[in-house]
Every structure is written in structure tokens, then in C-alpha cells.
Amino acid sequence: MVARFKGQYGTGIREANTYLGQNYMVVDPSIISEVLRILRDREQFDYCVDVTAVHYPEREKQFDVLWILYSFSKNERVRIKIMIADGESVPSAVSIWATANWLEREVYDMFGIRFDGHPDLKRILLPDGWKGHPLRKDYGIIQQDQEWVKANLGIESGQ
Amino acid sequence: MGKGQPGDRERPIIMTDRTMFDLKPADPKRIDEKYLSHLELGEPDKTFLDSNELVINMGPQHPATHGVLRVILKLDGEKVLGTECVIGYLHRGVEKIAENRTYTMFNPYVDRMDYVAAVSNGLGYCEAVEKLLNVEAPPRAKYIRVILTELNRMASHQLWLGTHALDIGAMTPLFYTFRDREEILKIFEKYCGARLTTHAFRIGGCQYETYEGFERDVIKFLDYVPAKIDEYEELLTTNRIWLERTKNVGVISRADAIALGVTGPVLRASGVKWDLRKAQPYAAYSDFDFEIPIGTNGDTYDRYTVRMEEMRQSLRIIRQAVEKIPEGPIMAKVPKVIKPPVGEVYHSIEAPKGELGYFIVSDGSTQPYRIRVRPPSFVNLQALDIMVRGALVADVIAVIGTLDIVLGEVDR
Amino acid sequence: MLDYITSYLSSNTTPGESGNVFWALVYIMVVFGGISVAVMAMNWLERKALAHFQIRLGPMRVGPHGLLQPIADAIKLMTKEDIIPAEADKFVFWIAPLIILCASFAVYIVVPFGPTHAITDLNIGVLFMLGVSSLSVLGVVMAGWASNSHYPLIGALRSSAQMVSYEVAMGMAVVSAILMTSLHGLGPYGVSAASSGTGTLSMIGIVQAQNEQHVWFLFKFFPLGFIAFGIFAIAMVAETNRAPFDLPEAESELTAGFHTEYSGLRWSLFMLGEYAAMIAVSSIAVTLWLGGWYRPFPNSLTGDTWDLVFSLFPGLVFLGLAAIAFLGVRRMPKHPYFRVQTIGLAGFGAVLGLIGLILFVPPVRDRIQDIFWFVAKVAGFMYLYIWYRATFPRYRFDQLMKVGWKVLLPIGIGVLILTAILGVVL
């Protein structure tokens, strides 16, 4: 399968490897939506297990956005990873798998990564007016949005 | 009731008096525009002043179960046109906390997510870290893990049944299932000291050896429970009112279920015969012989029968496991300070609610770099919108119950 | 004056018929007091029985085995703050529970506890009963409207729609029973040639017709009487908004019912009205189908000895209850904290036993028969109500209306037509 992709995209596929028995592919951000679509249609990865991100602040391309996909017919799981810089946005996978709707909202909520083409990109777990994206490494663990807490709860944050 | 007196509603006294939505329930026109939800149908802001349509809030507090979930319904009379779930009331930032704890320290946090079925959460986490460390738990530990996890699955389904029946109006099954759940919780308490948030497993195996009389207790439970499951079935399965309330309510088709990524009994009731215990076995499940129940219609009644049958299959697994627990160590050779090599791994198990996955990124230190929990209830809850389009308001409650959501898991 | 009072005692009619105002008032007081006590007892029984169905114990602390719980509840409700929503219509808000209460209690004017033990015996008794019990719908709508809040309003509208639709089915069942009063033949299928439409709408007349025909209307034209009874039994549960038809007042549904905004004493008036309505419609069912105040088998097990045997039942029932109370006394924990409760329960048992013994005394025994059998049958229905609540899930509102209009009404009409045909043909 990897050979097919490499043949089609050449340098677009940065890396395809197996670690501890789990296959993953690192892909160029520009071709990611096509790759995902091909994975669903041709390679039968019809179930999107998870969409998530990891933040590496020291790297130039700070964020790792991951899609974990599973194929019922092949009983196989694969991880697709792209690396983007802060502020870049990623094409949304909602049109490919409906699961991605809330999963991408959560990534946006926690990391601040925008997804183009998402029907309703809003904060999902945190209150609507919250400032800041908690799972970034520069957000302290007991830090809260001082302004929101004061305005809405009337107390000092961090209590 | 003068100013400043307790009945004075003008001056907010306690925190909960000051809310974002300072409106009287009778007056929908005063909803603050910026907090209005944007439902996908039609123009979001204008239509709720329309004569036929009504936006109703099923508020964060519920008289029955399920924790703090807010569902905004757009109704046309009694029919539901669209829903929007507002979650996050129970968000505790577990993933952020994980980055500041060591792997062993994080183990108890994991139980608190799906607090109803805590043992499976622990199993998923421990197995994920063991995968990262490339160790395997010894066979005895695996069998103990299977027994406890299946007992936990039974307890979770029993709680589901009781609360679901209560939502639909049958008050009695709640008490029956809770009484039987007590027996399971007693076993957990004797084993690890806690009933609900058990922290039963450790990275590399189990910490506690099974106590004296563990097998005897489990076998006594296995003999006692099938009659009780029959009792629940007798009360509900052929009850005319139950059938009318659950058949063809909240139907989700097979294609929709796969596209929306629902897992667990919801997916199996829609006809997909897929269970992670059989597809990608973990922790000694490959040694046992059991079946996967599936349904045909994908409606609430099918989910009910699938879960009842799963309870019976769990009993089957436990019986097989208890009869052949191997002797041996219960803990693998794991270093005292757990420092997995750099890498990332994703491991998932079949929790009672669906596929519970852990994606752990390690940077070589004692603290995980990133832990992502893929909660089954979070993804299942997305399907609520599709399932209740065109149904009546009373069905929304039934469907929330049948999805078996635990807010601790949805919000983490 | 004294003549006026004593002259009634030798007469053979109800106070209403004989025009005796004094005794009418006495009967009204007795019935009113009795129903109130019955409602309190029903409250206790519901909590205990429901708890036992759900393998728990129910109230145990307030009195011995929770016997004083209803009194505690009443005191609590009476001393609660009386909250009226700021924008509610005050007069309507105040009067709505009163209307429901009056409508429910007014039914008791025609309910016969014995051949002459009714407040009055209107010769249109059944019509009166149907009409007056429908008035409670007005109270429900007023309660929902006056609360000025859209959840109670929706709940009230649903509740009133439910009550009205099941009244139609009730009416059909009742008319079937009325048809049977004109038959004058003996036994389940007996129709005599003399049946010439001299049926009656009076409640006492219906019971006496059952006696004349030597059969409870439950078994008349079997299974038609049975089906008519079944329709009435289901419709009466829906009429009083009880499980499984309690969607309008269920807590886990969206609208919390028409009595959401009521608190304290006003709310307790609603509950009083609801229980009184339950007892009232059960009494109607007993009168129409179950032979009213007659003991079982008055015509097949006749004779003085059988009369004697059956007349011992009231005393035996109370002695049995006293025995259960004393059993409870024996099982009380032997701890000083429980001393008061143990003594209380023993006292209660003693009172029951005393009543039982009094009921063995011949003059009392003879007079108490009718009332006892009537109350025993109604008590059976009350237990059924609680049993339904414990067992069944709730109907969704559209299914509820479907059952009322599309299932019960056609069956009711069918039974009516068949009864009429059989009455003519046989």
C-alpha cells in the first residue's frame, strides 16, 4: 500500500514506518486531504478512530496533527501524521468521515489549530469565551483565563 | 420580600445566581444573541422567533442520571428538528495533567474518566504503556485482568440498564440492577480496596495477588446472576410499553454508524459484527470462547438486546477464566522508574461503551509527553443528532440513555 | 328537633332521598373525613409498597414502620413557604387546586357504601359522576395557565388532553354496564322476557340490579363484561394521570407537569385531589362491575351459615392486621433507641385488634358488612394502582393518545354494540 502511495506522490510521503508493530505515515500537508480521501475510498479505511495533535514548541513545524484510521475489512490500523507550523490551518476531514466533526473541534479547542471547511468550528470542551489553548506547552497547568473567570464566576481564577 | 432579603431575585447572592443566561424561562426572546447556538437548519438567529419552532434547553442538570450534559433542541411542536449538545461541564483537563505526572502517577487519574467502569480504563492505559515499554504482563496477571474487566463490563451494563429503564419510566429495574451490582463492587472492594475508582492494575501486571476466596466469590456470583438477568428481561423485554418506547426509536443505519465512528454496542446493534476483543485480542481474550451479539435494526431495542446478551457472554468469559487461572508471577519485570524510549503508540480496548483508545507520545523522560484518550462516549454522542431527527421529545431522553454516555469520559 | 334526627334512623332510605339535612351533613362529614384518612393511608401504602417492590424498605423511622410519615409530610407541606410566581394570575392560581379538589370530592355524593349508606341516591347517579369528574380538567388547565411559564402550560395541556380522551372510552364502558341493568335475567347470560328497558342510572340501582341478576356485571355476557371492565380499568388509570400514563407529571421528561409552580399546601391539595380521584373512580368501577357492597357469592352460597362465615371476615381481617403488627413488634431491634417505636407499634396492633374484636359483636357485625366489602374491593384497586406504578415504563404522549383513541374507543364501542345485541337476541 505504501508503495502505491509513494508511486503516486513521490516526495509527498515523507516517511512510512512501523514502530512497535503500528504503521504510520508522515505526509506533506499540501496533499493531505487527497491522501485521506484515497485512504477511505481505495484502501477502505472507513472508520476514523481519532484526530489529535501534539505540540513540539522547539521544532520549527510546531504541531503534529494525527489521524488514526482503521479498516474493518482489513483489520488494520494506520496513523497519518502531518507537521504544520503555528498558525497554519489544516483541511478538514468532515466531508470524508463524519466522525471528524467533534474530534476536530476538540483539537481546535485544545491547540488552536484551525480546520478549513469545518461546518462549525467552535470550542467544544471549554466555555465559549475562553482565551487560550490549554494543551499547548506554553499554557501553564494551573493557568486559567483570568478574564473569563472573573467575568462569569465573580471569583479570582486559580482558586 | 424586600431588597436584600432571601427571596430577592434581583441581587445575585451565590455564584450560581449569576449565569450567562440571565433569562426567565417563559421568555425565549431574551436569549443573548452571542450565546445562541447555531443549529444547522435554516437561519440560526431568525428562526426561533418563528411561530412554529421553539428552542428548548435540556439543561445541564438532569433529574435522572448522565451527569452534566446540555442539549439544545429545536422543536416543531413535539418533533425534534435538530439538536446541539453542549458539553464540557465536566472538563478537568486530564490530558494536560498527564504531562505533569509520571506514568505511574497518572494511573489513578485514568479511572476517573469513565467512573462507572473504571477497571477498563486502567486496563487500556496499562496495556498502552506496556506496549511502549515493550513488555508483556505475565499470564496470571492477564487472566486476573480479564476477570476483573469482564466483571466491570457487567457492572457498567447493569448501571446502564437501571438508569435507562428509569428514564423511560420503569422505576423498579434500577433497584434490582443496583443490588446485583453491589455484589460486583464487593468483589472489587475485597480485591483492591475501592468499589468504583479501583486503580486495579499496574504497569506491568497487577499489584495485588487475588485474595483468599476470590475464585469462590466469583463463582458464587456467576451462579447467582443469570437468574437475575432473566428477571430483568422478564420485566422489560416482552413488555408492551417497553417495546413501543424502544422499537424504531433512535435508529442509526450501518453506514451512518461507520461514518460517524460509533463503536461498542451501538455499532453492533446496527449490524456490524466487530469487537476489539475478537478483532485485535489483548490480554488473554484469545484464550476464551465467546460470541459477539449483533442486532439488525440499529434501534434502541436492538441496543438493549445486544447489551443484555453481552452480559451473558461476559459471564461465560469469566467462568472460563476462573476455571483456568494459571499460577505464576503477577508482575512483569518493569523498572521501578518507568522511562519508555522515545516513540508513540496507540492502543485501544473494548470498553463497555465502545473503543477506548490511548495514544501516548513519549520523549524518553519519566513523564509522558502527550497522552490522548480517545473516549467512546464522546464520539458516540455525536450520533445523537442523527438519531433523533424527526423523533419526539420523549425519545431524546431514551436515546441519550441508550447511547450509554458517561460525562466523565466525554469531557475528561 | 330530636324527632327530626331520630326519625331518620328508622327510615330505609339515604339522607338525600328522605330529605333529612342533618343526617346528610353527618354523612358528608363522615365521608369527607374517611376519604381524607384514606388518602393519608394511601400515601403511606404507596411509599411502603413501592419500596418493597423495589427491594428497599420505605419510611421506617417516623413512626413504627413509617406509620406517622403521612402526618409528617402533611406538617412539612403546611409549613412550607407559599411561593406564587411573580407574574402568575393570583386568583386563578389560588382557585385551580380547589376546583380539582371539589370535583374529585363531589363524586362521593353518589358513591354507595351500602343499600342506604350513600349521601344521596340520585336517579341519574352515573351521569352525575361522569360529569363532575370531568370538571377536574378545568382545574388542571387553570393551574397550567396561571403559572405563566411555558413548561407547566405544555404539561397542563397534555394532561388535559389525556384526561379528556380517556373519558370518552370510560363513557363507552360505563354505558355497556348500564345496558346490563335492564336485563333482569339470572346468571351470566340470562336475559328475561320481562326486560323492557327498565334499566337505571342510579348507583344503588345498579348494584341492586347485579344482585337481582345473581351475577357481577364483570361476568355478565362473559367476556363482554370483562372487556368493558378492562377498558374502564385502563381508562381510569389514564384519567387520574397515574403510571403508566403519567408523562405529564413525570420528572425526567422535559415538561415537569402542571403542578410545577405549586409548593407547600397548594401542592398537597393537588395530591389530595389526585388520590381522591383515584379512590372515586375505583369506587365507580367497583359499583358498576364488581357488585358494590355485596359479599362474594351472595346467591350461590346462601343460607345463614354462609352469611355467618362471611360476616366474620371484617373481624378476621383486622385481627390479621393486628397479628402482622405484633409480628413486626417481635422483629423490632432490641435496642433502647427503638423502645418508643416498639411501644407505638404494639399500641397500633392493640388498636387494630380491638377494632377486630368489636367487629365480631353481632349488632356491629351486621351493619358493617356492606361498608367492609365495598372498602375491601376499593382497596384492591388501590393496590393495583401502586403495582402498575412499580412495574410499567411510561407511555410516550403520542402512544398514550393512540391507545386512548385508536384502541380503547373502538373496543368500547364494539363491546357496547355486542352487549346491546346480546341483550336483545338472548
Question: Does residue B316 lie in a domain region?
Answer: yes
Q: Cell numbers of C330, please? A: 417481635
Measured N-to-C along each axis, helices C224-239 and C362-391 cross at an angle, to the nearest 10 degrees, of 70
C315 φ, ψ (degrees, to nearest 5): -60, -40
DSSP C407: I
Buried b (16+ CB within 10 A) or exposed e, B210-228: beeebeebbeebbeebeeb
Tally of domains within chain B: 1
Cβ separation of B370 and A55 shorter than 8 Å?
A: yes
Q: What's B185's domain CATH number?
A: 1.10.645.10
* pLDDT number for residue C86: 77
The per-residue pLDDT for C256 is 64
CA B28 to CA B14: how far, in whole Å? 24
Q: Determine which of C149-158, C168-177, C200-209, C288-297 has the lowest per-residue pLDDT on average.
A: C149-158
Output the pLDDT for position A7. Answer: 63
If you average pLDDT over every residue of chain C, what do you get? Answer: 84
What is the ipTM metric for this complex?
Answer: 0.88
pLDDT of residue B51: 57
Q: How many CA atoms lie within 13 A of B297 on its CB side?
A: 14
Neighboring chain B residues of C393 at a CB cutoff of 8 Å? 165, 168-170, 236, 239, 241-242, 245
Q: What is the pLDDT of residue C411?
A: 93
Mean pLDDT of A137-143: 79
- C151 and B CB contact within 8 Å: yes
Kindly indicate the confidence band of residue B308, based on its pLDDT and cuts at 50, 70 and 90.
very high
Residues of A in contact with B348 (CB under 8 A): 49
Mean pLDDT, range B85-94, rounded to an integer: 87
Report the pLDDT averaged over residues C162-168: 90
Query: Which residue of B56, B179, B242 is in closest CB contact with C393?
Result: B242
Interior/surface letters C149-158, b for 16+ CB within 10 angstroms, e for the rest: bbbbbbbbbb
Partner B contacted by A46 (CB < 8 A):
yes
Cis peptide before B281 (omega within 30 of 0): no
Instruction: Please check the confidence at residue B357 and state whether its pLDDT lies above 60.
Output: yes
β-strand partners of C211: none
Helix axes C69-78, C265-289, angle to 10 degrees: 130
pLDDT at residue B306, as a whole number: 92
Phi, psi of C181 (to 5 degrees): -75, -15
Per-residue confidence band for B155, with pLDDT thresholds at 50, 70 and 90:
very high
From B178-182, B208-212, C167-171, the region with the lowest mean pLDDT: B208-212
- Chain A touching partners, 3 or more CB pairs below 8 A: B
Neighbouring-strand partners of residue B74: B55, B82
pLDDT at A134 over 80: yes
Q: Residue B96 is nearest to which of A54, A99, A141, comparing CB atoms? A: A141
Mean pLDDT of C240-257: 72
Question: What pLDDT score does C124 carry?
Answer: 87
Contact between B174 and C53 using a beta-carbon 8 Å cutoff: no
Full domain range(s) for residue B262: 94-390
Task: State the CB neighbour count (10 A cutoff) for residue B29.
Answer: 7
- Which CA distances in Å does C159 have to A14, A59, A128, C140? 66, 65, 38, 7
Whether the CB-CB separation of B297 and B129 falls below 8 Å is answered with no
Is C247 a residue whose pLDDT tops 80? no
Number of residues assigned to chain A = 159
User: Could you check whether the bond before residue B335 is cis, i.e. omega within 30 degrees of 0?
Assistant: no
Residue B278 pLDDT greater than 50, yes or no: yes
Query: Tell me, what's the pLDDT at B149?
Result: 92
Least confident of B78-87, B362-371, C166-175: B78-87
Q: Which member of A135, A141, A153 has the closest CB to residue B100?
A: A141
Distance CA B167, CA B173 (A): 11
Give the mean pLDDT of B276-289: 87
pLDDT band at B223 (very low <50, low <70, confident <90, very high): very high
The pTM of the full predicted model, rounded to 2 decimals, is 0.84
Q: Which pLDDT tens digit goes with each residue over B115-127?
A: 888 899 999 999 9
Contacts of A41 (CB under 8 A, 6+ apart): none
pLDDT of C410 above 90: yes
Asked if residue A8 has pLDDT above 70, the reply is no
B171, B236, B392 member nearest C396 (Cβ): B392
Residue C349 confidence (pLDDT): 92
Pairwise CA distance, residues B93 & C29, whole Å: 66
Task: Report pLDDT for A11.
Answer: 62
Give residue B20's pLDDT: 40
- Domain spans in chain C, listed from the N-terminal domain onward: 18-312+360-425
**Which range is most confident: B62-66, B72-76, C196-200?**
B72-76
Strand order in the sheet with B370-374: B343-351, B354-362, B370-374
**What is the three-state SS of A2-42?**
HHHHHHHHHHHEEEEEEECCEEEEEECHHHHHHHHHHHHHC
Is a pLDDT exceeding 90 seen at residue C413?
A: yes
For B291-337, give the DSSP string: -----SS-SHHHHHHHHHHHHHHHHHHHHHHHHTPPPS-SB----SS
Min distance A44 CA to chain B CA atoms (Å): 12
* Secondary structure (DSSP) of A84-136: E-TT-EEE--TTT-TTHHHHHHHHHHHH--EEET-TT---SSS-TT--S-TTS
Quote the pLDDT of residue A3: 64
Cα–Cα nearest to A72, from A95, A42, A46: A46
Q: Which residue(s) pair with B392 in the sheet?
A: B79
pLDDT bin (cut points 50, 70, 90) of residue B16 is very low
